[in-house]
């Protein structure tokens, strides 16, 4: 009797696991992101937030994958640390909740 796919191990692709993730690096080997702090001013759909920077500007920010994995909840008024690309200063990634 044929078992089909049952009883056969593993499968899957040849994706490497556990290795360092590729990062966007600048010419001197540094990461090209700028760290800033801000306060969440409104909660939007799809784990996105409107964050007001200390300078008064507002940016659209989303939660980093590690924060999603750990189920970190963010509400209006929370202070957060973000990474922004120097090329698009209207968007950011929230990396840490300060309180």
The whole-angstrom separation of Cα 80 and Cα 61 is 10
- Lowest pLDDT segment from 5-9, 44-48, 61-65, 92-96: 5-9
Q: Please name the residue that has the structure tokens 């640390």.
A: 81
Q: Average pLDDT of 60-84?
A: 95
* pTM of the complete model: 0.69
Q: Which helix (H) or strand (E) holds 69?
A: helix 65-69
């Amino acid at each position: 009797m044929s078992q089909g796919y049952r009883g056969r191990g593993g499968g899957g692709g040849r994706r490497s696991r556990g290795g360092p993730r590729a990062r966007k690096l600048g010419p001197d080997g540094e990461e090209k992101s700028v760290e800033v702090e801000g306060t969440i001013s409104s909660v939007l759909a799809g784990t996105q937030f409107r964050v007001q920077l200390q300078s008064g500007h507002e940016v659209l920010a989303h939660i980093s994958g590690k924060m999603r994995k750990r189920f970190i909840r963010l509400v209006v008024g929370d202070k957060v640390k973000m990474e922004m690309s120097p090329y698009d200063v209207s968007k950011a990634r929230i990396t840490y909740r300060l309180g």
